[in-house]
Amino acid sequence: MQVHDQEQITRYEEAGAWGEETLLDQFDDTVSEHPDRTAVVDPPNTPDLVDREPERLTYAEFADRVDAIATSLRDHGVGKDDFVVAQLPNTWELAALYLGVARAGAVLSPMPIQWRRHELEHVVGTTEAVAYVGPREFKEFDHVEMATDLAGTSETLESVFSFADVREFASREPDADELDPVEVGANEVFNLQWTSGTTADPKACPMTHNNWQSNPTPLLCDMSEGDVVLCAAPLVNMTALGVNYVPWLLTQGTLVLHHPIDLGLMVEQMQTEGVTFTILVPAMLNQLLKHPDVDEFDLSDVETITTGSAAPAEWAMEEFQERWGIEIINIWGQNEGTSAVSGPETTPMERRATDFPRFAEDTDWGIDDPRIDTVDIRVVDTETGDQLTEPGEVGEVKFRGPGLMAGYYNQPDLTEAAFDEDGYFYTGDLFQVEEDGFVSFFDRKKDVIIRGGFTISAKEVENIVLEHPKVADAAVVGEPHEDLGERVAVFAVPQPGEDLALEDITEYMGDDVAVYKRPERLEVVDEVPRNPVGKVLKTDLRDRL
């Protein structure tokens, strides 16, 4: 499935940013060169997640399972350009599904395991998925039952596979005759990930092999061949894929999986597995340094920790450097494939918490690499679209580069609204122009809430709350939270004569909506403040919180 037009393909191929190799080719090279190297390590608490013992697989063992899964999917009718939806925790089965589905010629579309029927129906409808993979029981919820129920009404969803089915697939003998005829090109879609924003429903971001091959993380984060990469984020979107999974493939390393976030267990894995690279959100950096046993931690193998989603504390960055010699690198990016990396290659420590290099055609950062040279980041006036260049000016970032998706899949209206005629993507993030070619994050133009690393569409939650029979009007904003970053807060106007409680709303959402999207604070108000044209004054609501 090719989504970029030929003009884009030619531009990036001629620049050297894109080539003919796929991620499957990269994986095959590693299997051939390092068959006995450890490829994937399960979380120590795997029995609590999927009721089996943790496993460690070499590249040779992992490759056999990838090919066996691909063979089984082909046998079940999954073919070229079909979509397979998956909801699984961070175990080797999910890591293998990405490659196995791609080997079968299909496209994996993973969802957060917390998503429910409401989100699944949208994902299947948008992708016209033919297959689903999920656990029969995870946190007392039956994902297979949910998907089977949806399959009864879906026009496309034909196959529902359980976690046990995938393990059984992986135990079979791979069939080379079945897989050899399947051709996968570097400009075809490897996976489709989901992002939330100002729209009511998640947006579909198709990422090609070449989009991922131009990932600047290994280059700008000084990764090395054979790095041991800890994946603590859910293996479903840019945080884990762009900063952990794909760099693991590109550096022929070892992928150490973690789920869910457990600081003590995570530190244990970092020590026992010799982790050299990972990504942790700023709150986790702070928690690690404030842990009562921090003086006992031996993180001497760790070379680099990347961070993002909010500005890290400068004291934390300095403390990691002084204690263990660990380089903290700040990353800004989105599921659409935008990215800016602030690390030692470009940014002094005293600016790294807030400032990012503005990679662009009119700047030179002394990095001779097409993955950087072809990126163009501009700050533009939100009203006129004119480029802003004076320090102190604030505008929206628009982005063009080889890592950027071609457009939202099967959502042409969203694509048209987000891209201009020159292929620049309007990120919805406001940045301030700084001295010396830097920019700093200023605010989110998009109406989103970021709770514990998960991006939540305020509009999506609002629409659900407004369905409640007791609610006359409502607005949703993010409430600042020390550990989570933000949590969902609702300002609601009850219907006349009705008493409204937070439990009314959360119980109404039930099991059909992801748990992390449920409001955690309710403010009952007489009216929702609006400007003269009816737009909710969310700044006022945030100020109240």
Q: How far is residue 84's CA from residue 78's CA, in Å, rounded to a whole number?
A: 8
More confident residue, 5 or 312: 5
Segment 2-22, tens digit of pLDDT = 999 999 999 999 999 999 999
In the numeric block, which tokens belong to residue 176?
């080379």
Segment 466-518, tens digit of pLDDT = 889 999 899 999 999 988 889 999 999 999 999 999 999 999 999 899 999 99
Beta strands in 482-525 (DSSP E): 485-494, 521-524
Segment 156-204, tens digit of pLDDT = 999 999 999 999 999 999 998 889 889 999 999 999 999 976 667 899 9
Q: What is the pLDDT of residue 199?
A: 67
Segment 132-161, tens digit of pLDDT = 999 999 999 999 999 999 999 999 999 999
pTM as predicted: 0.90
Are the C-beta atoms of residues 131 and 156 closer than 8 Å to each other?
no
DSSP string, 232-275: -S-TTSHHHIIIIIHHHHHTT-EEEE--S--HHHHHHHHHHTT-
Are the C-beta atoms of residues 131 and 161 closer than 8 Å to each other?
yes
In the numeric block, which tokens belong to residue 75?
């046998």
Q: What is the pLDDT of residue 531?
A: 74
Are the C-beta atoms of residues 167 and 217 closer than 8 Å to each other?
no
In the numeric block, which tokens belong to residue 215?
């990932």
* Side chain identity at residue 390, one-letter code: E
Span 394-417, mean pLDDT?
A: 97
Element (H, E) at 294: none
Q: What is the pLDDT of residue 62?
A: 98
Q: In what order do the strands lie in the sheet with 521-524?
A: 471-481, 485-494, 521-524
Q: What is the pLDDT of residue 459?
A: 85
486 beta partners: 480
Q: How far is residue 364's CA from residue 367's CA, in Å, rounded to a whole number?
A: 8
77 pLDDT exceeds 70? yes
Q: What is the pLDDT of residue 225?
A: 97
Element (H, E) at 68: helix 59-75
User: Which residue do the tokens 């002394």 mark?
Assistant: 366
Q: What is the pLDDT of residue 417?
A: 95
Report the largest interatomic distance among the alpha carbons of the chain, rounded to a whole angstrom. Answer: 72
Q: What is the pLDDT of residue 176?
A: 87
User: Residue 492's closest CA among 521, 513, 512, 517?
Assistant: 521
Q: Could you tell me the CA-to-CA distances from 198 to 175, 380, 418, 476, 507 in Å, in that order?
A: 45, 20, 11, 12, 25
533 pLDDT exceeds 70? no
80 pLDDT exceeds 70? yes
Helix, strand and coil percent figures for the chain, each rounded to 5: 35, 25, 40
532 pLDDT exceeds 70? no
> 265: number of CA atoms within 13 Å, CB side?
14
Q: What is the pLDDT of residue 198?
A: 61
Segment 261-289, tens digit of pLDDT = 999 999 999 999 999 999 998 888 988 99
* Side chain identity at residue 174, one-letter code: P
Query: Beta-carbon neighbour count of residue 409 at 10 Å?
Result: 22
Q: What value does the CA radius of gyration of the chain take, rounded to a whole number of Å?
A: 23
User: Residue 48's closest CA among 314, 338, 259?
Assistant: 259
Segment 448-464, tens digit of pLDDT = 888 887 888 888 899 89
Phi, psi of 223 (to 5 degrees): -75, 155
User: Residue 516's closest CA among 454, 464, 457, 462?
Assistant: 454
Instruction: Mention every residue, 6+ apart, whose C-beta is less than 8 A from residue 127.
Output: 83, 85, 107, 109, 192, 204, 409, 410
Q: What is the pLDDT of residue 212?
A: 98
Are the C-beta atoms of residues 392 and 433 closer than 8 Å to each other?
yes
Q: What is the pLDDT of residue 448?
A: 82
Query: Beta-carbon neighbour count of residue 410 at 10 Å?
Result: 14
Span 378-406, mean pLDDT?
A: 96
Rounded percentage of the chain residues whose pLDDT exceeds 90: 86
Rounded percentage of the chain residues whose pLDDT exceeds 70: 99
Instruction: Mention every residue, 6+ apart, whose C-beta is less than 8 A from residue 133.
Output: 84, 85, 86, 87, 88, 97, 161, 162, 163, 165, 166
Q: Could you tell me the CA-to-CA distances from 118 to 121, 122, 132, 509 in Å, in that order?
A: 6, 7, 15, 10
Q: How far is residue 97's CA from residue 327's CA, in Å, rounded to a whole number?
A: 32
Segment 331-367, tens digit of pLDDT = 999 999 999 999 999 999 999 999 999 999 888 899 9
Burial of 85 (0-12, 13-18, 19+ CB in 10 A): buried
Are the C-beta atoms of residues 473 and 496 closer than 8 Å to each other?
no
Span 94-113, mean pLDDT?
A: 97
Q: Could you tell me the CA-to-CA distances from 111 to 193, 326, 403, 451 in Å, in that order?
A: 8, 32, 21, 16
534 pLDDT exceeds 80? no
Q: How far is residue 465's CA from residue 467's CA, in Å, rounded to a whole number?
A: 5
Segment 202-218, tens digit of pLDDT = 999 999 999 999 999 99
Q: What is the pLDDT of residue 471?
A: 94
3-state secondary structure of 388: coil
Q: What is the mean pLDDT of the chain?
A: 94
